[in-house]
Amino acid sequence: MRLRIGQSSIAIERGDITDWEVDAIVNAANSTLAMGTGVAGAIKRKGGVIIEEEAMRQGPVEVGEAVLTTGGNLAATHVIHAAVMGSDLKTDGEKITTTTRAVLALAAKHRITSLALPALGTGVGRVPPAVSADAMLNAVLAHLKGGPAGLKRVVFVLYQDDAYKAFTDTLKRLGGVQ
């Protein structure tokens, strides 16, 4: 599913985020920036330990902050580590919104034009996919509607069926798509 906003597009796709050829992929991180399981583990396995080493040199960070590292051996040039939870591994819609905004601000600062994001908080954080979809898509839509954006392509790359359905349904509702 795809939606155009000005010069930018938002897409919802099924797949493995580590395969996407974009300027940056987003890692669902904890505040220590250590890369253990889930999306982080997959990024570290495919992209190399250099990504984690570079991230940890910039941490720890507060929940809601984001840092940029190399993409290592990934197709993506960079990884944005989005600290969506602390060491307690708990998160919620508000933290996901704040963290998504931090990702978008960092992308703008580094002139990133294409970005792939997972469903933040839905793995270890145990947030329902619909909550993550609502928080993330509202933040991205507000960012893109807020004026000329350097971000031309935003892709939500979702691995699980329930996340794909939640993000598709939410984008249809928020974007006014029939």
Which domains does the chain carry? Answer: 2-175 (3.40.220.10)
Residues 145-153, mean pLDDT to the nearest whole number: 85
Report the largest interatomic distance among the alpha carbons of the chain, rounded to a whole angstrom: 46
**Beta-strand pair 8-14/24-30:** unpaired
For the record, the structure tokens of 34 come out as 């250590």
Give the Cα separation of 144 and 139 in Å (integer).
9
Residue 161's identity, in one-letter code, is D
For the cut 80, the answer to whether the pLDDT of residue 147 exceeds it is no
Residues 96-113, mean pLDDT to the nearest whole number: 97
* pLDDT number for residue 177: 60
Dihedrals φ, ψ of 6, to 5°? 60, -125
For the cut 50, the answer to whether the pLDDT of residue 43 exceeds it is yes
* pLDDT number for residue 37: 84
Give the Cα separation of 110 and 146 in Å (integer).
18
CB 166 within 8 A of CB 156: no
Q: What is the sign of the dihedral through the CA atoms of 137, 30, 102 and 76?
A: negative
* pLDDT number for residue 123: 87
In this prediction the pTM is 0.95
* pLDDT number for residue 176: 67
| pLDDT tens digits, one per residue of 54-96 | 999 999 999 999 999 999 999 999 999 999 999 888 999 999 9
Q: How does residue 178 score in pLDDT terms, banded at 50, 70 and 90?
A: very low
CB 82 within 8 A of CB 101: no
Q: What share of the chain is helix, strand, coil (3-state, %, to 5)?
A: 40, 25, 35
For the cut 90, the answer to whether the pLDDT of residue 156 exceeds it is yes
